Structure 1
Amino acid sequence: MSSLSTQLGILQTSNSELATTVSELTAAVIAQNSELKASNDLIAADNQAIKSQITGLPDVVFEQVDSVLPARIDERMELHLYLDVTNGNDSNPGTASAPFKSLKALIDSAPMGSVIIIFGPLGQRIDVNERIQISNKKVVCRLIGATLNLNAIIEVYGSLLRFSYPLIAVNLSVPKGISHYSGDIRLNCTKLVPATGSEALFLQVYTGGDVSGPGSHHSNILFTGEVDGANATADSPFYVFAPTYYMSSMIVTTHNITLGANTNLFHPTYQTLQVGTKGVYLVGS
């Protein structure tokens, strides 16, 4: 009986110790769960903060881009460039204080799609000694009292070339001066002087592809001035407008045109229709 009582006491003590241990473990688990919950709450708060930042970030970025991009586009797409054939340098950036020397370098410096406004000193003699290709650009020359010496051809393809002020003279020493397709050209000059062997000022060219559709290689051209015929002959006449031999069209506007001996406005390949009594012609070949 005594032995049984002793064993029962030991069992009660063990149960008491076990209950204490379970209680302690339970408390520890509860405490750890509380810490984990607090940690999870912090992580959730951080995630919410990050989410808020990410959600608002595109708007901030777009605002920053919107504030900067138009200015950058304007800077690159409408360029005010300066030309000084006497004091310029083709390694210059084309600013008023550091102008270009040649028209070719100035035009070549601008990316496709840009609008180029050309400024510079009065009375410049602009020598074109290398081929200039103007492709998908708008070039507006605002030089006053300039002379243009075409010793090489200017090619105007899908582009605009406009001289805002009359040129004193255009001196042409090559067979053709300005080739074009899908061009918009305004050339005001006091006098056009072709050299011996020069054939035409404007040449409408064929560049490949289907030209059977209307307007495929259509150009609009305005020309004014006196055409000197001193170097033209009956056997080698000079034409202001000449085509290559394929289907093409133009709208030509003329003003104050004077044609010298053996000079003609249009090559006979062209068929022309004058609009009323004005110097406006629908031209096709």
Structure 2
Amino acid sequence: MTTHLLITRKFENLHQELDCLRGRPVNPSLDIDLPTYIVDYAIISAIKRDSASYLADYLRKYPSHIYRFFYQETGVPQKPTRKMITICPLLHYALRSNALECIRVLIQRGASAFQPSYVIEWAVTRGGDSKIEIVEKQTIAWLAELILENVIEYSAKVLNHFKQSNVDFTKPLETRVQRINLKNPIPTKTIQYDDVWHCIEKIIEKICPQEDLNNRKRIMKKLRSGFAMDTLENIIKKRKIEEPKKPTEGEPEKLQDKDV
């Protein structure tokens, strides 16, 4: 794991923690013993709905779980078979779900933007070979996907939460990737970045469609400047003013140039 992980204690097993809170051994005739992934699924689903109140209640009961890794597995109904497994802290799920209020709750309660997130993609090729890709990123690096997928106003709101909590964007980052073919395993590849902005920009350059890249670079420049100059609120307010009015019934909507 990356050295940026701030937690020094061992992560608690949820079953053990529930047993401890129960104060007695599990009685199979009386107690419902939920598998960990079911509890994880409930919290992740609440974040996907951006249910900040549900998340806040959960963290009041289990404050240390803000640093805990949560497990999710999703399958793709197609051939060849693909599965995606995420083993990540709650802030990762909030960023990937565009859950603005949950992002706010987590950052205000001390979630670490530099805690690692692990994404494992498993696939079976048409030839029947298995391939596994393991990606380790510090959670803040997932801002690249968020900025790429959203309008500039939303990205500015998210960055403003990080700004208000004094998250240091000058820290160097690194990501690690390992592609495993069961016949020909490949060593782990480590990619180092000068700081958070450098990481975000390079990821966007890698995954952004070429026809949209110049627009995204322009948006990144505005966001980075707004973060440095403490003017993100101006981007948010200006965006609200420039939002086009919805056309009345029978009136054609006018096309306008805008950041997307």
- TM-score normalized by the length of structure 2: 0.32
Q: Which has the larger radius of gyration?
A: 1
Name which structure has the greater RCO, CA cutoff 8 Å, separation 6+. 2
Flag the structure with higher helix content.
2
- TM-score normalized by the length of structure 1: 0.30
Flag the structure with higher strand content.
1
